[in-house]
Amino acid sequence: MKFRGFISVDLNEHPKLLRFYSSLKQTNAPLRMVEVENIHLTMKFLGDMDALLIDKIAELMEQAVKDVKPFTARFEGTGAFPNTNYMKVIWIGMKNAEPLINIAEFLNEELQSIDFRKEKRGFSPHITLARVKGSRNKEKIQQLLRENENTIFGEQLIDNIRLKKSILSPKGPTYSVVKEMKFGGVEE
């Protein structure tokens, strides 16, 4: 059986982050917002994958986190990919997230052994809030990004990564946890 998969870190609700999210919506710009309950940090997008690979992916996840201790990351700053003049994705940055960079690089490298494509660009820890679908009200978004470029939105203890399944529907994606790996290599 195939399903659409990805490896992520799930986030708690942070009031400042939710206020920024609401402000984005109020710009009336053509944005496709990530549903609040689906906001997460993607460590590795796997795409359509065979369920037979779950155990091998879980092994690699365990190896990636076995020596990592839980740590606190800070959600700080805003921006857009590729840049604020030509916006495709609106994001919030993460600070103190070096362990996640190491985990993502390990997964990116090792998942090639089971035929997952290696990302060419380096991993940059960020939280995607919206995809930009046009330039209407672009100035409002740019202003909001400038106003929040140094805002601290909250902190969170990061102590696990999850293999998740995404089911797409006209109402948007629904995510479910397939495997969770606690830092120190303990499967939940």
pLDDT per residue as tens, the chain (188 positions): 889 999 999 999 899 999 999 999 999 999 999 999 999 999 999 999 999 999 999 999 999 999 999 999 999 999 999 999 999 999 999 999 999 999 999 999 999 999 999 998 889 999 999 999 999 999 999 999 999 999 999 999 999 999 999 998 888 889 999 999 999 855 65
CA 26 to chain centre: 23
DSSP, collapsed to helix, strand or coil, labels residue 86 as: coil
Per the domain annotation, does 184 fall within a domain?
no
How many structural domains comprise the chain? 1
Within the chain, strands assigned E span 2-10, 31-33, 40-50, 71-82, 87-95, 126-132, 152-158, 160-167, 174-182, 186-187
Indicate the pTM of the whole model: 0.91
Per the domain annotation, does 64 fall within a domain?
yes
Active-site choice (4, 30, 38, 40): 40
Question: Is 40 in the active site?
Answer: yes
Per the domain annotation, does 183 fall within a domain?
no
Per the domain annotation, does 168 fall within a domain?
yes
User: Is residue 181 within 8 Å of 62, Cβ to Cβ?
Assistant: yes
In whole angstroms, give the CA distance from residue 182 to residue 187: 6
Active-site choice (126, 138, 162, 179): 126
Domain housing 129? 2-173
Per the domain annotation, does 182 fall within a domain?
no
What is the CATH number for 58?
3.90.1140.10
